Structure formats: C-alpha cells, structure tokens
Structure 1
Amino acid sequence: MTKTDYLDVATKMIKEAGKIVLKYKNCQKIIKSKSDPLDVVTDVDYQVEKYLINSINQNFPGHHILSEETENKFNTVSGFNWIIDPLDGTKEYVRNIYDYSINIAFEYNNNLLLGIVYFPEIDQIYISQKGKGVEHNNNLVKVSQVNKINNSIIYIHLPDSRWTKKGLKDFSQQQLAFIKNIYRLRSKAHDCESLCFIAKGAAEGYFLPPLEMRGTAGPKWWDVAPGILMIQEAGGMVTDVHGKAIVNHDLSNGLVASNKLIHSQLLQLVK
C-alpha cells in the first residue's frame, strides 16, 4: 500500500470511531478504574478500541498495534506499528465535556509517518503525513512566526498527586519563570491537543517535565505521537528538555515542542 492508502484507511477509521463515541455518550458504563478511582475506563473505550483493532487487522494484516487499553509491545519483526488512543479524555467524556479525542499514529521502524487527532463532538480533525504537512479540517496549517518568548503562548503539562515532592517544588519555580518571561501560560486536559494548537499556529510552545519530576505520571506515547509529527510537519521542533531528539518513544527526559523560532529560548526556561 502507498502512504495515501494508509491515510485514507486511517481517516475513515477515525471518523467511524467518532460515530461510536457520539452514539453512546451519556449512556456509557464505567468498567474499571486505573491509577485512581476517578481514572476510569468505559465500555465505549473498549468498543472504539475493538473497532479500530479489527479495522487495522483487516486492512493491514501483520502490522502491530499499540493501544492505551492493551499496552501491547511493539512488533520488532515487521516494523509497522499503529498507535491508538481510543478515547483520549475519558474523564471529560463521562462528565459531558466536549474536550476529548481519538488519536491514531502510524510508524515504520520507530519513524512517525502518519498522525491523526479527531474531536468528534466538535468535528475537528488534524491530519499530518510525513513529507506532506498538516491539515486542520482540510486547511493546510503552519506554526506561528513569533520569534520572541515574551510574545509567546506556552502550554504546559500540569502536575497531579503522583508527582514527587521535589518535582512539585521545582515545577512551582518553573511556573514563576514562565510567568515572568512569556506572554501567557496555558494548559489543556490532553497533551495532544496542546501540540495540535502549536501545529496550527495558535500557540508557540509546550512543555512536559521529565519523569524525575512526574514520578509515575504520564503521558504515554499514544498521548503525544500524532501531535509530535504534526509539529514537525508544520515547521516546528520537538526535543527533550536537553534539546535532544526523542528516541524510541522515550519521554523520560520530558518533551519540549515549539514553532522552532523560540525553541532555544524555551529550553533555557525549562533547564
């Protein structure tokens, strides 16, 4: 199959998955909790996951699938891997908040080739393809041209109770540095949405602290993979907090994403 075939199938899959999500909204059932009692998984998470897995297996036999709800290991034989988050924002979904999405990424030998993020309730879709740029609802988008950190809107991954005490203290100091040096500090419920905003030029940067600050807290690869490709394809830049490339899905050294023009300035703030 060609890249276009992968894109066509993935786009159709994610739109159909969105119909499932909308059909069962307000009548979903909570199946279990994960890291805490409020970190829930619903029957809709599993329905969407089952649909996506079956569709991938039917269209691409031999390809491996990594999903949030199954967490299977990558297939090192074929090299083709699909990364799916059936419902990114389940907590928002069950609370009747529109801010949730379905995320799909496709890789070959750990190289991102395709990324799609779909917000079914507001019918917003972001599509990135290696070498083809980024589209938001069929419109080609690019990162912003802001080149000064003091004119920049920066999104951050907020802490929770799983963070280390030192991590929370260090993060508080970093927040002060952000507030003093940037235009506005923002946060979204989901990391991939923040990355989409940078890709379409609505924000200039994003910061995920390293694992030593976060303790056991995420995000995981399925939370950010589509957004990483989008920023790169839109002309932006993605590194860890040391300015090095993200390798082998390793987010332990955090993640810094930007429009590229402010990247060095942003790295100075997070060190």
Structure 2
Amino acid sequence: MISISSNLNIMIKAAEKASKSVIRDFGEVEKLQVSKKGPYDFVTKTDKNVEKILIEELSKAKKNYSFLSEEIGSIINKDKENIWIIDPIDGTTNFLHGIPHFAICIALESNKEIISGLIFDPIKNEMFFAEKNKGAFLNNHRLRVSNKNSIEDCLFSSNHEGVKFSNLNMRYTGCAALDLAYVASGRLDGFFHNNINLWDVAAGKIIVEEAGGIINDISKYEKNNINIKASSFSIKNEMLKNLENF
C-alpha cells in the first residue's frame, strides 16, 4: 500500500472532483466542432470552472496556502511559503479540437521547493503523482524512467520549435505536462521545451525526478519563461549534445 501525505490526498480529491466537469464538457466539445461559433468560448469557460473547483477544494483543506494559477495568476494568502501551483487544463488546444490528450495539474511548492506533484489525465483515467523522497506512481504502480542508452532507440517530445530544431526521433503532443509524465513512466525518453510556464512543468518536474530522471534547475528562470530539459540519466548527455543550439 502506498503511503501518501494528507496534502497529496487533498490534491488527488480536488483533481478527481474537477475532472467530472472536464469529462462532461469534453463530450460537449465534439458537438461544438461543427457549429459556426466553434467551441473556443466554451472551453475558456471550462478552464475557469475547473480552476474554481480546484481552488475551492484546496482552500477548504488549507485555508492559508497561496496560489499560482494559469488563469487567475497569483493569490497571496497568509502562508506565502506554501503555494499551490495549478494548471486547470494543460493541453487546452487539444481539448478545443476534441483530441483526448490533456491533463489537470497541481503541484505544491514549499519554501521555494516543489515537494509534490500530480498530473491527471481524466479521459484515460491516468493519475501520475509523486512526493519528495517517496517515489513516483501511475495510479498505484511505481514509475521508473526508461533505461535505454542508445539515442537511436529513443523517443523525445518538445513543442513545435523543438521538433523543427532537433534531429532526434520527435513527437509534438501539445501537452507538456503529459510529456513529462510520459518521461517518468518510460513511454518517452526525454522532453525539452523553451519559454514554458511554471504551471505547465511544476508537477512534472518532481514526478520525473522521483522516477529516477534528471531535470535542469528550473528555479533560476522567470516563472513564465522557463527552459526545461528532462530525461533519464543514461541518455542525458547524448540528448544535451543534440540540443547545444536550442
């Protein structure tokens, strides 16, 4: 049985509650694809609604913790050292087009260090989570990064700039959070992205590290302008060699 902290338990419950409206709204998006107006406004509303549910649920349990969220920005409460970092829907463009590849992300930063993270893919019902020094998990199974050591056998992900730039075997999935979760679970071997936001990668950072992977120090960047590189130890140097000019 996995032992999880009360904070992670709160995060899981909040993500599960928010996911109900996400799943319902995603069903509606399919119908809106063919309408003249298109689903854009509807999806923006979903994003804000999910954010509201997450903030409400997390605040119920920890009244004084602060927030950093994609939609609403910073909410400074009494406790400035503990900050919930949330992305209500990472992969909004996928959601908007009826592509079932997006995630709800929550991380907890305590004294400037990310100590727990959760990435929930509600459509596939895959909950990736990790806490500092406790390992990383997918649902209840322990995660490990891949141990391939030949770069030719590896699969990497990035944004479109990274895909254009690199001569590695690449994917561009449109959801950075799930890319990091997939590195942690060994589905992908590495992920890199420039100028990305903290809420897209905060949860994934600790999940990759706790799965035995390695990530550059993202704390030295501005929160909306992060350059991130994540992989297993075995192919880290090869990957970085390929990214010298990225």
TM-score bracket for this pair, using the shorter chain length: 0.7 to 0.9
Residues 1:16 and 1:201: Cα distance change in structure 2 (over 3 Å):
same
Cα gap change, 1:6/1:46 in structure 2, threshold over 3 Å: closer, same or farther?
A: same
Question: Does the 8 Å CA contact 1:40/1:90 hold for their aligned counterparts?
Answer: no
Structure 1 residue 117: deviation in Å?
0.7
- CA distance in 2 between partners of 1:185 and 1:89 (Å): 18
Counterparts of residues 200-219 of structure 1 (less than 5 Å): 200-209=185-194, 211=195, 219=196
CA offset digits 1:106-148 (Å, max 9, x no partner) = 1102211111111111211101111111111211010111123
Rounded to whole Å, the distance in 2 between the matches of 1:93 and 1:203 is 22
Structural RMSD (CA): 2.6
Q: Give the 5 Å matches for 1:138-177.
A: 138-159=140-161, 172=164, 174-175=165-166
User: What secondary structure, in the 3-state scheme, does the structure 2 residue paired with 1:25 have?
Assistant: helix
Give the equivalent residue in structure 2 for 1:255.
228
1:224 is aligned to 2:212: no
Q: Given the alignment of the two structures, is residue 46 of structure 1 paired with residue 48 of structure 2, yes or no?
A: yes
TM-score (norm 1): 0.78
User: Would you say how many aligned residue pairs link Structure 1 and Structure 2?
Assistant: 233
Change (3 A) 1:152 1:110: same
State the 1:186 CA deviation. Answer: 1.6
| SS of corresponding position for 2:233 | coil
1:92-241 maps to which residues of 2 (within 5 A)? 92-159=94-161, 172=164, 174-175=165-166, 178-179=167-168, 184-209=169-194, 211=195, 219-239=196-216
Q: 5+ unaligned residues in a row in structure 2: which ranges?
A: 33-39
Structure 2 residue 241 is matched with structure 1 residue 264? no
Give the fraction of aligned pairs with identical amino acids, expressed as a percent. 28
The letter for the 1-side match of 2:24 is K
Match of 2:36 in 1: none
Q: Distance in 1 between matches of 2:178 and 2:186?
A: 13
User: Matches of 2:128 and 2:173 in 1, distance apart?
Assistant: 16
Alignment-derived partner of residue 164 in structure 1: none
CA–CA separation in structure 1 for the residues paired with 2:204 and 2:176: 8
Residue aligning to 2:16: 15
Task: Indicate conservation of the 8 Å contact 1:143/1:231, yes or no.
Answer: yes
State the partner residue of 1:215.
Answer: none
CA distance in 2 between counterparts of 1:233 and 1:135 reads 9
Aligned AA (1:195) = L
Q: Paired residue for 1:242?
A: none
